[in-house]
């Protein structure tokens, strides 16, 4: 189980390779990455603020819960903070398991909870000014299936 909270970018390919390197018990790796998206053509950058003391622990807690629920061999969450440009990687989640089902479900579970339970806040820097992103109802609903 690994959690990294950082301002620097990451190399997803290299991270995925490392995750299963030297392991012969892993048969499936599922990964997700979140990118800075511009819906309106108005976005200059996305700024991510977090709660340094709490973020690492909150993400590690999610991993612990995923491990308790699914048969996972490895798990990685990387989440960036700071000012990110359109198209930049914000975060990634990777889960590894003997079989795909556990890896798929655990990755979705981690993402659903990460959206609303990890102390990150997004602020949009638009051509017309700045705006804090509100939590989406669809994100709070997504957790309910677990």
Partner 1 sequence: MSVSLNVMYFAWLRERIGVSSEAVETTAATVSELIDELAAREERYAVAFQDLSVIKVAVDQVMVDFSTPLKGANEVAFFPPMTGG
* Residues forming the site for partner 1 (CB under 8 A): 34, 48-51, 53-54, 57, 79, 90-91, 111, 114-123, 132-136, 139
Query: Tokens 């973020």 identify what position?
Result: 55
**Hey, which residues does 77 pair with through a beta bridge?**
3, 93
Question: SS3 of 23, please?
Answer: coil
Between residues 13 and 53, which has the closer beta carbon with respect to partner 1? 53
Q: How far is the CB of 123 from partner 1 (least distance, A)?
A: 7
Biggest alpha carbon–alpha carbon distance for the chain: 53
Nearest approach, Cβ of residue 15 and partner 1 (Å):
17
Q: Whose CA is closest to 1, among 77, 104, 56?
A: 77
Comparing CB distances to partner 1, the nearer of 11 and 54 is: 54
Cα–Cα separations (whole angstroms), residue 67 to 4, 12, 37 = 17, 22, 30
CB of 83 to partner 1, least distance (A): 15
Q: Between residues 27 and 34, which has the closer beta carbon with respect to partner 1?
A: 34
């Amino acid at each position: 189980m690994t959690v990294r909270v950082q301002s620097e970018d990451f190399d997803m390919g290299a991270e995925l390779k490392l995750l299963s390197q030297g392991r012969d018990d892993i048969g499936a790796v599922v990964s997700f990455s979140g990118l800075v998206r511009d819906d309106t053509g108005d976005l200059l950058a996305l700024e991510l603020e977090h709660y340094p003391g709490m973020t690492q622990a909150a993400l590690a807690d999610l991993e612990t819960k995923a491990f308790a629920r699914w048969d996972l061999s490895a798990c990685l969450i990387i989440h960036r903070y700071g000012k990110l440009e359109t198209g930049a990687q914000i975060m990634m989640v990777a889960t590894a398991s003997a079989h795909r089902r556990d890896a798929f479900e655990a990755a979705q579970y981690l993402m659903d909870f990460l959206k609303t339970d990890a102390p990150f806040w997004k602020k949009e820097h638009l051509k017309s000014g700045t705006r804090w992103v509100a939590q989406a109802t669809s994100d709070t609903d997504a957790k309910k299936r677990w």
